[in-house]
Amino acid sequence: MSLKLINGLFYYEHDLELDNKSLIEEITTTRENPGNDLDDSRPSHKEVDMQHTFYEDVPLKQETFSLIGEQVSSVLDSIFNLKQAMSVNEIWGHFTPPGEQTMIHNHYEKGVRGLSWVYYPHMPENAGNLIFQCQVETQRIMWEINSTAGKIYFFSRDILHFVTRNASNVNRISISGNVTVRPELENILNNDHQFTNNYWYFVGRSGERQIINNEK
C-alpha cells in the first residue's frame, strides 16, 4: 500500500491478487459478443458530468463484479481502518485497441462523495499511462502515473484524468469503478477528527485537508 502526494493531489495505489488472464479474456470476449448475464453498473449519461467517457466501457459478468467488489472493499477498509467504509456500486471493464486512447474525463456526480479507481490486469509495453490533470493556483499540472499490471489506483471522483495513446500492438485492458461514502462514515468523520487521517486526503473539505497537510 502506498499513499502518494503529487502537487497537492493524493492518490493511493495497492496490489490486488486477481485472475488477470481470465479478466482479460472476459472483457475481450464481452466486447466482441455481449451476453445476457452482465452487471452493467456503469453510470448513465444522465447521472454524470459531461466530462465522462463511455465508448470504451465494457460491462462485467455478475460473478466478476462481486469478486472484484469484495477485494476493492477489503482494500478500502484497510485504508480507512474502518469496516465497510465505502459502498462499491459501479464497476466496468475498459477496452482500448492499439492506436486509441482514453480521452480526458472525470467521474464527478453531483451530490455524491466518494472515490474512483482503476485496475490494470496487464500493462503491455507502450500501451499508455494514466495522467492526472489538476489545477494548482494558476498552473495546470499534468502528472503521469507509471501504470503497473496488478495494481489498483484510487483517486478523487472529480479529478480530470486520461490515458495516453495505446502505442502497443495489443489491446489495453483495464477495470474501473466508483465507490461512495456510507452515511455511517460521514457521521463519524464529521464528529471525530482521528478518522480524517486518510479520508480527507481523497474526498475531504478544503478546511479539513489543510489541517491534515499542516500536521505532516
Fold of the domain spanning 2-215: Jelly Rolls (2.60.120)
For the segment 126-148, the average pLDDT, to the nearest whole number, is: 83
pLDDT for the residue 67? 93
Mean pLDDT rounded to a whole number for the chain:
75
Sign of the alpha-carbon torsion through 54, 173, 149, 76:
positive
Q: Where are the alpha helices (DSSP H) in 124-172?
A: none
The Cβ of residue 207 has, within 10 Å, a number of other Cβ atoms equal to 8
pLDDT in tens, 75-114: 888 877 767 778 888 999 999 999 998 888 888 888 777 8
pTM of the model: 0.76
Question: How far apart (Å, rounded) are the C-alpha atoms in residues 106 and 88?
Answer: 17
Of the chain, the percentage scoring pLDDT greater than 90 comes to 33
Q: What confidence tens digit (pLDDT) does each residue in 23-74 have?
A: 999 999 988 776 554 444 444 434 434 334 444 578 888 899 999 999 999 9
Condensed to tens digits (0 to 9), the pLDDT of residues 142-191 reads: 888 889 999 999 888 888 899 999 999 999 999 999 998 877 666 665 55
pLDDT of residue 134 exceeding 70: yes
Q: What is the pLDDT of residue 152?
A: 94
What is the pLDDT, as a whole number, of residue 81? 72
**Cell numbers representing residue 40 in the block:** 452493467
